[in-house]
Amino acid sequence: MFAAALPAPSGAQGRRPPIVREAEFSGKSYLSLEDVAQAMNGQMHWYPVSNRVDLSFRSHEVQFVVGSDKALVDNQSTALEIPPVKRGRDAWVPKSFFASGPLMGDFRKRIELGP
């Protein structure tokens, strides 16, 4: 596992931007969903029996299921390049979802995704 911290863009002078951890699993890049929720001023909620994790921010609701290559974004199904994974107490979602998914504009305002 490789981990790096991605700073979210700073919106206010003198305030430290939130850190979004990036990790590599099996050669693929993932972002910590817990960190993304904090960077987006949103909430994350686990449903351990179904292995579902929800991200909500502003008026958006996103549902991921660990191991599934589909997500629900505002009740619309979207394909994921690779399935989310669970490591420890955190869910890790493919970085590509944040860089090119249906909500990429919202994410890019708060998270610096790099190249």
pLDDT digits (tens, 9 = 90+) for 44-77: 999 989 999 999 999 999 999 999 999 999 999 9
Question: Is residue 36 a contact partner of residue 45, using CB atoms and an 8 Å limit?
Answer: no
Q: Residue 24: how many CB atoms within 10 A of its CB?
A: 14
Domains of the chain as residue ranges with CATH: 2-110 (3.30.457.10)
CA distance 108 to 26: 25
Q: What percentage of the chain exceeds 90 in pLDDT?
A: 68
Nearest alpha carbon to residue 114 among 9, 37, 10: 9
| pTM for the structure as a whole | 0.83
